[in-house]
Amino acid sequence: VLAGYVAGSHPEMMERVQRDRLLAGPILGPFEAWLILRSLGTPGLRFERQCQNAAAVALMLRSHPAVKAVRYPGLPEDPSHEIAA
C-alpha cells in the first residue's frame, strides 16, 4: 500500500510525481484504506520488531571483517548512544 504526501522543490521530480499520481489516481481505494487502518492497530509490535531486527543487523555487521564501522545508536560505542537511550 502506498499512501502519503509528496512535496518537493525540484520541478523535474515533481512532474514525474504528478504523472504517476495521474496514472495511479489521487485517492486511496476502499481496500487500500482498510489495509492501512488494519495495520494501525499494531504499531507498537511492528516498531519493536523493527528495532530488534536493526539491532541484530548492527551486531552482525559490527563483527563482520569487511565492515570498518557501524553507526547504530543502540550500540554502546556509537556517539549517539546516550541521546538515543
pLDDT digits (tens, 9 = 90+) for 26-64: 788 899 899 988 888 888 888 999 999 999 999 999 999
* Domain, as residue range, for 54: 43-84
This prediction has a pTM of 0.56
Distance, CA of 40 to CA of 43 (rounded, Å): 6
Which ranges in 1-85 belong to alpha helices (H)? Answer: 11-24, 30-39, 43-62, 81-84
One domain, residues 80 and 57: yes
Place of cell 514525474: 16
One domain for residues 50 and 76: yes
- Residue position matching grid coordinates 563482520: 64
Question: Measured between alpha carbons, how far is 9 from 26 in angstroms, rounded to an integer?
Answer: 20
List of long-range contacts for 60-64, beta carbons under 8 Å, 24+ apart: none
What percentage of the chain exceeds 90 in pLDDT? 59
* Number of domains composing the chain: 2
Q: Based on the fold, state whether residues 20 and 48 are members of the same structural domain.
A: no
